[in-house]
Chain A
Amino acid sequence: MKNVFLLITMFFCGFINAQETFDVNGTHNKNHNYYAFTNATVFVDYQTKIENATLLIKDGKVEAVGTKINIPKNVVRYNLDGKFIYPSFIDLYSDYGMPEVKKSKTPHYGPQFENKNKQAINWNQAIKPEVEAGKLFTVNDKKADELRKLGFGTVLTHHHDGLMRGTSTFVTLGNEKANLVMLQDNVASHLSFNKGTSTQDYPGSLMGMIALLRQTYYDVDWLFNNTKIDEYNISLNTIVDNWKLPQIFEANDKLNIMRADKIGDEFETQYIFKGKGDEYQRISEIKATEGKLIVPLNFPKAYDVEDPYDALKVNYSIVKHWELAPFNLGIIAENEIDFAITASDLKDKKVFLKNLAKAIKSGLSEESALKALTYNPANFINQYDKVGSLEKGKLANFIIASDNLFAKKTKIYENWIQGKQYVVEDYNVIDAVGNYSLNIAGKTYDLKVKGEPKKLSGNINIINGKDTNKVKVDVKVERQLVSLSFNPSDDYQKGTIRLSGTISSNGGIWDGNGQLPSGEWVKWSAIKGKDDEKKEDKTDEKTDSLIIPKIQYPNMAYGYFDSIPKAETIIIQGSTVWTNEAEGVLQNTDVLLQNGKITAIGKNLSAEGARIIDGKGKHLSAGIIDEHSHIAISRGVNECTQAVTAEVSIADVVNSDDINIYRQLAGGVTASQLLHGSCNPIGGQSALIKLRWGAAPEQMKINDSTSFIKFALGENVKQSNWGEFNTQRFPQTRMGVEQVYYDAFIRAQEYQKKWNAFAALPEKMRASSLAPRIDLEMETLNEILNKQRFISCHSYQQGEINMLMHVGDSMGFTVNTFTHILEGYKVADKMKEHGAGGSTFSDWWAYKYEVNDAIPYNGAIMHKQGVLTAFNSDDAEMGRRLNQEAAKAVKYGGVSEEEALKFVTLNPAKLLHLDHRMGSIKVGKDADVVLWSDNPLSIYAICEKTIIDGVVYFDLDKDADQQKANSKEKARIIEKMIVAKKGGAKTQPAKSKKQKLYHCDTVGE
C-alpha cells in the first residue's frame, strides 16, 4: 500500500487510505501527518506493557512505540496522561456485513430430494463451500459501531448458513468503503452442524450431517486424486482449493466439539472449534482434541426463582450451568488450551465487557483475556503480521481506555481503526462534578454538582431560619459551555434564575451572564472549591480466594461430584446367584469382582482389600442388556430422508448427558444397543454402550464390539402413519421394500466388484485410470455382506420377515436379529432355519395395524422353537424395568424363571455378540452385575447396586445421599440467583426445555 491517496474526514482526524483505482470528486486530500499519543500506558502486545510511553502512527499504521520516540514536526499530539492503550480486539466469529440468513417461509409439502439450486455445485443444499464472504461483504456502520464500542477493531466474518459455509473475510470495523476495510478474503473455511436455510430433506439428523460431511470429504479426496472425472463440481473444487486454510467449525456444544474432532482426525484436519461456553464440563476431552477454541461470553441470565414452585421448572443442569458459565474461560486457560473470545453469541452486545470482567473475577487472568482478544485470534488465522499487537508496521488499531481495561470502572474512550479515530466517549469532557461557590450579582450560593458528564444534576441548600431547603439545579455542560437554572424561592428571587457561560480550561472557574425572573441581565460566576472526600469503594469483592463451584460428571442431577467412581475389588457375599450358566441358580454364594472382571464364584471367598457387600437374602444377576434402546442420543434417532441411510451412525451422536442413563442404571441396565430408528428399510449403524454414567461418549462405547446396523420393515418404512404429504418417498408398500433391499445389495456387490477390478489392475494402469469413488453407504452394506456388520431388523408381520430372510439367503447374509418381531411366533421355525434371533416386546400391541396379531406369548413360542429370544424396551421408561418384562415370559407362555431372566441378560448379549464378555455370572466375564432385594423377576425386586466393570455406578444408599446433595446444591445456587437479582442482575422467567424421548418412529431432532 505505497503511494496511496489520502483523505481526511470532516469530523475525525486520522488517515484513511483512499482507493487508488477510484476516481476522486473534487480536490485530492493527501495527509501523511504523524499522530503521537503520549504519556500513556501502552500494551504493545498482550504481555508487554510500557509505562509513560508514546505511540506514533502514520498512514494508518504503527510507526513507533516506546518511551524514547523521536516525534517528527508534522505531528498531531494527544496527551494521554494516565490513560491506557491496548491493541484493538479481534473477533473470529462474526457475521458482520453479511446478508441476513433467511429461511424460506413458503411452506413446502412433501419431501425435497434434490438441491433447489441448479448450478454446477454440490448435490446437497447445505454444502456450500463455494460461498465467499468476501464477495458478499458490505460495510454496515451501525453494526460496526456496536462492536467498536466493545473494543473490537477487526473481525473475521462469514455467512452463517449451512454445514459447509465457504470462506470468511477479514475486515476492519472502519466506516469506509468495503475496499478499504477488507484486509484479506478467503481467510478461513467454515463448517457447522446446522443445515441453515437448506430446504432439502437430507440430512435430517445430526448423524446425517456427520455422514454427509464425511462423504463430502471422501468425494473431495476422489476428485483430488483423479483427473478423469466427468462431473464438474464447483463446491468440491473449492474445498480442494481451500484445504490449507484454517478450518473453523461451529460446534456449539462440548459434545459436538468431540464429534467434529473425530471427523477432522479421519481426514487429517485440525479444526478450530467455535464452542458454546460449556467446555468446562468436558475439559480434558476437549483438551485432547488439540483444537483451538473460539469461545463466546454469553452467560445465561439468572432465573426468577423466588417462587419455589417456579423454581421447580428450572432443571438442575440449567441452574448448575448458570453458576459455572463465568468460570469457563478461566478453566480453559488453566488447562492451557489456546482460545479466542467472541462476542458473536451475545444478543445484547453491551454486556460483553461486563461478562469479560465477570470471567476475570472467576479466574481468567487479565493476560489470558487480552491474549484471547488479540494475539490468539490474529494468530489462529495467520494475521498476526497485521493486527493483534502495536508493533511497527501493523495496523493502527488500538483502544484508548481510562485505566486498566479490566478494572471495574474503566471506560473505553476511543477505538482507533486503521489510524482513524472513533470516539466512544469523549475524554476531553470537563469534569464538572464538585462544589462551587456560585455568585450571582453579589448573591452567593453553595452549589454542589453530581453525576456523569452527560447526566449532571446540582443542588443548593437555602437556609430559611431553622429549615434547610434543598433546591434542585439543572446543570448542563457541553464542551466548555455551561448553563444552570434553578428557583431558589428565597428572599433573593421567587422565580427561575437562568444562567449561561463558559468554563475555564482547567474547569476551576465558570462565568457568564444570566437572566433573573424579572428579565434583568446579571453577571454571574462560580468558583470550584474543595472536592468531597472520596469514600473508599468497598464493593470490590475479594478475588484472592477463588473457589470454583463443583463440576459434576455429567454436570447435571445425579452427576458425580469431582470424579467418576473407580473399579473396586468387591465380594458380594451369600446372595442367591443367577449364573445363567449350567450351574443355574446358586444359593448362598459369594462372587468376587476384581479388576473389572468376575474372578471367583463360590463359598467363603476372600481377597485382599476387598469391599464386602452383604448379599444375604438378596439376589445377584448379570447386568441387564437392552437390545433395543434409544436413550443417550443427540439430535435425532432417525435419518428418515432416504430409504437407505447405511452411512449414518448412532455411534457419532452418543449423548452422555441423558438423565435416563442414570435412571436405567437404577433399573439394573448395564449395556444397551442404541439403535437407529425405523423409518427406512436400511437405517443407520448402532452404538453399543455400557451405561458408564459420568463418562464421555467415547468412554461409554464398548470398544471391541461387533458392528450392527438397523433395518426396518412395515408401516414406519412405508410412512403409513405420516399423513398425506409423505407419499412420495419410495417405498410406500411392502412390495417396494423388497426391491429397496435387492437394489441396495446388488449395488453393493457391483461396487465391490468395481473396487476389486481396480485393485487387480497393474499399478501403472491403476494410476492412470479412474478409481471408483468411496461411497460410505456401499461400504457399510459390504460390511454386512462380509459378515463384519450385523443386522437388527425392526419387523412385525410374517410376510415381510420371510421376505427379508429370502433376500438375505439369496444375497449371502443372515439377519442377525429381528427386533420387535411381534409375529415371530408365526415364523419361528423359519427364523431358526435362517439363523435369526428375536428381540421382542413382552406385551405391546394394538398401537398400529401391523401389530394387530401381536401376542404376549410371542417370546415363549419363539424360545420354545429354539429361536434365541430377548425382550427389549425401545422406551426410556420400560428400559428401567426390563427384569419385570422378562417376568412376563413366565406369565405368558410359562417360560421358566431362569430362562426368562436370560431374555434380558444372556440372550441379548448373544444377539449382540457380547456373550464372551457379558450376560452371565461366570469367571472371566466382565464384572457387570446387579444386586436385587428380591427375585429379579419379581415386581417386588428393587435394584440395590448396579456394577459395571467392577465400578459401582448405582448404589441405592448413595442415591439417597446424592438426592440430598443435589437438592442442597440447587438451593444454594438459587439463593445466589436471588442475590444476583437483588443486586440488579437481569433475569429471565423460570423454564426449561423438556427432554424429548426417542422411539423407533420419532422423526426429526
Chain B
Amino acid sequence: MKNIFLILFVGLFISVNGQTETPAPKQTKKIILLNGIAHLGNGKVIKNSAISIIDGKFDIIADAAVIKIDFKQFDTVIDVRGKHIYPGIIAPNSTLGLTEIDAVRATRDYSEVGQFKPHVRSVIAYNTESKVTTTIRSNGILMGQITPRSGVISGTSSIVQFDAWNWEDAVVKEDDGLHLNWTSMYNRWGGEKNKNYEKSVAQLNGFFADALAYSKLEEHKEKNLRFEAMRGVFNGVKTLYIHANYIKELTEAINFSKKYNVKKTVIVGGYDSWMITDMLKENNIAVILKRVHSLPQRQEDDVYLPYKLPHMLFDAEVLFCLENAGDMEAMGTRNLPFYAGTAAAYGLDKEEALSLITLNTAKILGIDDFCGSIETGKDATLFISTGDALDMKTNDVIAAFIQGRMLNLNNFQKQLYDKYSGKYEH
C-alpha cells in the first residue's frame, strides 16, 4: 500500500547535489516522512515513525505502525526506513556568519571597539552567504545564536536559521540577549590576581545602575543608545548571558544578576558550574556549557572532566545545553553533534544527550515554543542521517529541512570534492 506513493529517497537527493546552495522557497507541498527512527529531541524516540510537515510546521508525529494515514492528502511521501530523524541542531553562542577566514581581518566582524556596547547588534553583520555555514548545515546544525565577542558587554545576539537570502530572512529571534563577559579574577597567563578586577566590577555596577535608572523613564529628551539597548534586560525581553567559568566569578555573576533583578540570566562557559548546581537551580539559571572537547583547566582535574560535565549537570537537574566557542569556533561548529556524542559516551543516555543540542538549547534561548524538538505545531526544522548523527563514524546527513523547506545540502567543500574526484577519474 505504501509502495504506491513511495519516492525513492536516494534518487531525490542525488538530483539536488551539484547545484548551488540557493535558499529553498517556502514550503507549499505537503510532505510525510515514513518509517524513520525519529529522535524527537525531548528524550523520546519513535522507532518507526510517521512525521508530516505542512506549511513549515510539524503536523502528525506518530508511530507509523499504529496510525492510519491517508496518503492522498500528501504531495510527497518519503520512505526513510532505517534512517534517523532529528530536530535541527542549534548552535548557541556562535560567530558563524560573523567571520569567514579567521586570519583575514577584513572577514572578521565579531569584535567591536569598546567595553560596554549593548547596542551593538550581531544580526546585521550576519553573512548569509558564508561558505562556512553551508558546511555546518551538512552535519545537521540548522540554527544558531549569532553572538558578538570582546569587551565587558560584547553586544546583542540574535538567533537565525541557516537558509536565507539575507539576515532579515534568517532571523528567528532578533536581539534575544545581551552578552556580558565577566571580568577574570586572575590574569590569563601569569595566574596572579587581576589588579583591575574590583575596578572593572565597579564600572560594571555603575553601568548597570545607570541603565536601570534610565529604563524607568520611557522617553528621554536625549537618547542614550547603550542604555536603550539595556532596557530589555530589565523588563525580561532580553536574556542576560554571562560568560564565566571560575567558581568565584560564577557566584559573583549570579549575585550581580540578582542585584539588578535581571529577569532571565544564563551562564555561558560554566566550567565550574557543577560545584554550584543548587545555586543555579534556586535562581533559575541555565548553563550553556563550554566546548565538551576541551582540555581540563587544572592539572589535577579528571582528565575527562570536560567530557563528564554534561552528565554531572544532568544528574544535578540543571537546565543546560552545549556550545562550541573557542579556537576555530565557526568552522568547528559542525562538530557540535559529536560533543553530544561524547556526553553520551560519558554517562548520558543518547536521547538526553541529543536534547543538549536541540530542545534544551531552544529552551535556554527562549525559542522552544516553536522549535527545538519534533513536536506537532513546531517549525519543521529537522535533518535525516543514515546513521547515528552523534557519532562521526555514522553521521551522514542526507536531507535537512528548515521550517519545512528542504535544503540544498551541497557546499563549497563538496563541490571541490566532486571537482577533484573527477580529476582522477580520467
Q: Are B191 and A938 in contact (CB under 8 A)?
A: no
Is A313 in contact with B100, judged by CB distance below 8 angstroms?
Answer: no
Contacts of A373 in B (CB 8 A): none
Segment with Cβ contacts to B, from A188-196, A771-779, A886-894 = A886-894
Kindly state whether residue B101 has any CB partner on chain A within 8 Å.
yes
CA of A662 to CA of B303 in the docked complex: distance in angstroms?
8
Among residues 285 to 314 in chain B, which have CB atoms less than 8 Å away from a CB atom of chain A?
293-296, 298-300, 302-304
* B41 CB to nearest chain A CB (Å): 19
Contact B346 A861 (CB under 8 A): no
Complex contacts, B294 vs chain A, CB 8 Å: 877
Partner among A826, A829, A846 whose Cβ is within 8 Å of the Cβ of B328: A846
Given contacts A313-B186, A856-B413, A857-B413, contact A663 B393 (CB under 8 A): no
Contact B393 A890 (CB under 8 A): yes
A 981-995 to B, binary, CB cutoff 8 A, 1 in contact else 0: 000000001011110
A959-B303 CB under 8 A given contacts A891-B396, A989-B193: yes
CB closest residue in chain A, given B416: A855
Which residues of chain A (957-1005) have a CB below 8 Å from chain B? 959, 963, 966-967, 970, 989, 991-994, 996-997
Q: Which A residues lie within 8 Å of B393 (CB)? A: 887, 890-891, 897, 935, 937-939
Check: A660 CB closer than 8 A to any chain B CB.
yes
Which residues of A are found within 8 Å of B421, using beta-carbon distances? 857, 861
Query: Is B164 positioned at the interface, with any CB of A under 8 Å from its CB?
Result: no
Give complex CA distance A996, B191 in Å: 12
B104 in contact (CB, < 8 A):
yes
Partner of B331, one of A313, A659, A666, A846: A846
Partner of B295, one of A876, A938, A993: A876
Query: A284-296 vs B: 1/0 string, CB under 8 Å?
Result: 0000000000000
| Cβ of B210 under 8 Å from chain A | no
A849 to B414, CA, bound (A): 19
If A846-B328, A891-B396 touch, whether A315 touches B299 (CB-CB below 8 Å) is yes
Within 8 A of B (CB), among A411-469: none
Chain B residues near A941: list those with CB within 8 A: 345
Of the candidates B191, B328, B424, the one whose C-beta lies within 8 Å of that of A828 is B424
Q: Is the CB of B102 within 8 A of A847?
A: yes
Complex Cα distance, B328 from A861, in Å, reads: 24
Tell me which of A847, A861, A878, A959 contacts B103 (CB under 8 A). A847
Interface range on chain B (Cβ under 8 Å from partner): 35 or more
List, in ascending order, chain A residues with CB within 8 A of B303's CB: 558, 662-663, 666, 959
Closest residue of A by beta carbon distance from B305? A963
Segment from B1-9, B174-182, B228-236, B336-344 that makes contact with A: B336-344
Q: Are B328 and A847 in contact (CB under 8 A)?
A: yes
Do residues A846 and B247 form an inter-chain contact, with CB atoms below 8 A? no
Q: Chain B CB within 10 Å — which of A853, A897, A994 has the most?
A: A994
| Residues in B whose Cβ lies below 8 Å from that of A829 | 424
- Do the beta carbons of A940 and B392 come within 8 Å of each other? no
Q: Are B293 and A881 neighbours in the complex by a CB distance under 8 Å?
A: yes
Which B residues between 157 and 189 are near A, CB-CB below 8 angstroms?
186, 188-189
The residue on B at minimum CB distance from A660 is B295
Chain A 456-503 residues near chain B, CB threshold 8 A: none
- Chain A residues with CB under 8 Å of B424's CB are 828-829, 861, 864-865
Of A315, A890, A897, A939, the residue contacting B298 (CB under 8 A) is: A315
Chain B positions within 8 Å of A939 at CB level: 338, 341-342, 344-345, 390-393
- Chain B residue numbers with a CB within 8 Å of A877 are 293-295
Instruction: Evaluate contact between B191 and A884: CB separation under 8 angstroms.
Output: no
Contact partners of B222 in chain A: CB under 8 A: none
Contact, CB under 8 Å: A309 / B104: no
CB distance from B336 to the nearest CB of A (A): 12
Asked if A769 lies at the interface with its beta carbon under 8 angstroms from chain B, I say no
- CB proximity of A786 to chain B, nearest CB, Å: 34
Q: List A contacts of B300 (CB < 8 A).
A: 315-316, 557-558, 963, 966-967, 970
B114 within 8 A of A: no
Complex Cα spacing A940 to B104, Å: 37
Give CA–CA (A940, B421) in the complex, Å.
31
Nearest chain B residue, comparing its CB with the CB of A310:
B248
Chain B residues contacting A992 (CB-CB under 8 Å) are 191
Interfacial residues of chain A within 895-944, with CB under 8 A of chain B in the complex: 897, 935, 937-942
Given A844-B328, A846-B331, A939-B342, are A663 and B101 also a contact pair (CB < 8 Å)? Answer: no
CA distance A845 to B420 in the complex (A): 17
Residues of B within 8 A of A966 (CB): 300
> Residues of A within 8 Å of B, CB-based: how many?
66
Interface flags for B192-219 (1: CB within 8 Å of A; 0: not) read 1100000000000000000000000000
Q: In the complex, what residues of A have CB within 8 A of residue B33's CB?
A: none
With A and B bound together, what is the CA distance between A843 and B392 in angstroms? 11
Kindly provide the distance from the CB of A342 to the nearest chain B CB, expressed in whole angstroms.
Answer: 26
A13 at the interface (CB under 8 A from B): no
A986 to chain B, nearest CB (A): 16
Chain B: minimal CB distance from A940 (Å): 4
A846-B331, A881-B293, A996-B189 known; A556+B299 contact, CB < 8 A: yes
Q: Kindly name the residue among B191, B330, B394 whose own CB sees the greatest number of chain A CB atoms within 10 A.
A: B191
- With CB as the reference atom, state the residue of chain B lying closest to A993: B191
A849 in contact with B101 (CB, 8 Å): yes
| Residues in chain A near residue B423, CB distance under 8 A | 826
B contact residues around A727 at 8 Å (CB): none
Whether the pair A993, B293 counts as a contact (CB closer than 8 A) is: no
Pick the contact of A991: B104, B190, B248, B272 (CB < 8 A).
Answer: B190
Task: Give Cα A659 to B295, complex, Å.
Answer: 10
A312 at the interface (CB under 8 A from B): yes
Residue-wise, chain B 64-95 has the 8 Å CB interface mask toward A (1 for contact) of 00000000000000000000000000000000
B295 to A317, Cβ gap below 8 A? no
**Cβ of B395 and Cβ of A891 under 8 Å apart?**
yes
Beta-carbon contact of A852 and B101 below 8 Å: yes
Q: How far is the CB of B417 from chain A (nearest CB, A)?
A: 4
In contact, A844 and B331 (Cβ under 8 angstroms): yes
Whether B416 and A666, one on each chain, are in contact in the complex, defined by CB atoms closer than 8 angstroms, is no
Contacts of B342 in A (CB 8 A): 939
One digit per residue, 1 when the CB lies within 8 angstroms of any chain B CB and 0 when it does not, for chain A 860-874 equals 010011000000000
Contacts of A997 in B (CB 8 A): 295
Task: Kindly state the separation between the CA atoms of A897 and B303 in the bound complex, as whole angstroms.
Answer: 27
Check B47 for interface membership: any CB of A closer than 8 A: no
Q: Which residue of A lies closest to B104 (CB)?
A: A849
In the docked arrangement, what's the CA distance between A193 and B104, Å? Answer: 37
A934 and B52 alpha carbons, distance in the complex (Å): 36
Q: A715 contacts the other chain (Cβ, under 8 Å)?
A: yes
Kindly provide the distance from the CB of B10 to the nearest chain A CB, expressed in whole angstroms: 15
Choose among B247, B272, B300, B414 the residue with the greatest number of A CB atoms under 10 Å from its CB. B300
Question: With the chains together, A887 CA to B294 CA distance in Å?
Answer: 18
Docked complex Cα distance between A119 and B418 (Å): 63
Are the C-beta atoms of B304 and A938 separated by less than 8 Å? no
Q: Which A113-146 residues have a C-beta within 8 angstroms of B? A: none
| Complex alpha-carbon distance, A721 and B296, angstroms | 29
B103 touches A848 (CB 8 A): yes
On chain B, the residues within 8 Å of A938 by CB distance are 391, 393
30 A/B residue pairs, CB under 8 Å, sorted by A: A309-B246, A312-B272, A558-B300, A660-B295, A663-B295, A721-B103, A825-B420, A826-B420, A828-B424, A843-B334, A847-B102, A847-B103, A848-B104, A849-B103, A855-B413, A857-B421, A861-B424, A877-B293, A878-B293, A887-B391, A887-B392, A891-B395, A893-B417, A939-B342, A939-B344, A963-B302, A967-B300, A994-B191, A996-B189, A997-B295
A contacts, CB < 8 Å to B? 309, 312-313, 315-317, 556-558, 659-660, 662-663, 666, 715, 720-721, 825-826, 828-829, 843-849, 852-853, 855-857, 861, 864-865, 876-878, 881, 884, 887-888, 890-891, 893, 897, 935, 937-942, 959, 963, 966-967, 970, 989, 991-994, 996-997
What 11 new A-B contacts, CB under 8 Å, besides A721-B103, A844-B328? A313-B191, A846-B331, A852-B101, A877-B293, A891-B392, A939-B342, A939-B390, A941-B345, A963-B302, A966-B300, A994-B188
- Which 3 A-B residue pairs are closest in the complex by CB-CB distance? A939-B341, A848-B103, A557-B300
